[in-house]
Each structure stands twice: as structure tokens, then as C-alpha cells.
Amino acid sequence: MSTEDSANQEEIVQPETVAPVVEPAVAAPSEGGGLLNSILGLKESNPKVFFGGIAGIAVLILVFAISGGDEKPAITGPVLKDLAIGQKYTLKSANAYDASATVRLVSTPGAIAAYDDTEEADRNGACQHLAQGTPVTVLEFADAYGKQKSYSKVRIEDGSCKGNEGWALSIDVQ
């Protein structure tokens, strides 16, 4: 065969015609309805099994909801240290996140709960509000509200108030 003959044979071959495939726009929901119908049929034919299954599923959901992980984060917060008389500590406000917050010193142990410093003179009084980080020495303790060592009498060891004494909450002495 020559190249002309093979070219002629290629021309003679006609391609097969393929019919276009048309897909439906939306599929019919036949399977979902069958499952629903079988469940509803079970309700009619055997209600004990139907409602028992619902109760079982509810119990499983409840068990999963109640049972949490074993790893629960520890709640951290200010801790009252076991302070010792004669030891040096620093003042740090346990309930303040602001670095410029001050620690209040008063003349008697129970006065902290009763003071009102709305007056400007009370806020700017000499050595009543000390900056956090001020070094102090613990001199004695006072009990309050059924807790031992709730208040600490401290002596200021640094700054313009050096040598002054006052009472502070023990949780603020760290």
C-alpha cells in the first residue's frame, strides 16, 4: 500500500455519532423519603422500639454533654502566702492588673474595709497609698473574719516613707 492509499482509507472511515447525554437538573429525593417512611412505619407497628430508640439517643447525647475531659484548667488567683515576722517582702495589689495601682496602708487592721477615699485629701495623704513593688518588713499579724493572718503590720523599707508603719491586707504582701 502506498501513502496515498492509506490516506484515502482514513478519509473513508466515518466517525460514529454519539447521542448527547442530558442529566436531570434536580435529583429525585427517593432515598430520604424511604428512610423517613420506615421510621414512621416503625412508630406505627412497634412504638416501644421507636420510643426506646429515641430515649437511647437522648441518653447518649446527655452522657456526651455531661462527661467532659479530665483535664480541667486550674483556677489561679491571688494566694495568701505563709508570711513570717521579720521577713522582707514587697507590696503587690492582688486584685489589680494595672501596674500603677497602689496598695493602701491604714492605721488599724480593720479600717481597710471601712475607708472611703473619695476626698482628695484621703487619696494624697502621706504614706497611705504606696506603689506596687515597695519593699516592706512584716512586723505582726491580725486575724479577721475567721481567718488567721488576714492583716499584716508592715514597715516601709525604701522611698520617702521609709520607716513608717501601717497595716495592709496580707494578700497584698508578697
CATH number at residue 120: 2.30.30
- Identify whether residues 117 and 158 lie together within a single domain: yes
- Identify whether residues 64 and 93 lie together within a single domain: no
Model pLDDT, residue 4 = 58
Nearest to residue 173, comparing CAs of 157, 153, 159?
153
Which residues of the chain register pLDDT less than 70? 1-33, 68-70, 72-80, 112-125
Residue 95: is it exposed, middle or buried by C-beta count within 10 angstroms (0-12/13-18/19+)? exposed
Nearest to residue 168, comparing CAs of 99, 90, 116?
90
Model pLDDT, residue 2 = 55
Model pLDDT, residue 156 = 93
Indicate if the alpha-carbon torsion angle 129, 133, 136, 142 is positive or negative: positive
Query: pTM score > 0.75 for this model?
Result: no
Model pLDDT, residue 31 = 53
Whether 170 and 92 have beta carbons less than 8 Å apart is answered as no
Distance of CA 157 to CAs 94, 124, 137, 161, Å? Answer: 20, 20, 7, 8
Q: Is there a domain that residue 49 lies in?
A: yes
Model pLDDT, residue 58 = 95
Residue after which a domain boundary falls, among 9, 41, 69 = 69
Q: Is there a domain that residue 36 lies in?
A: yes
Q: Is there a domain that residue 167 lies in?
A: yes
d(CA 46, CA 53): 11
Q: Is there a domain that residue 15 lies in?
A: no
Domain count, the chain: 2
Model pLDDT, residue 34 = 78
Instruction: Supply the range of the domain harboring residue 58.
Output: 29-69
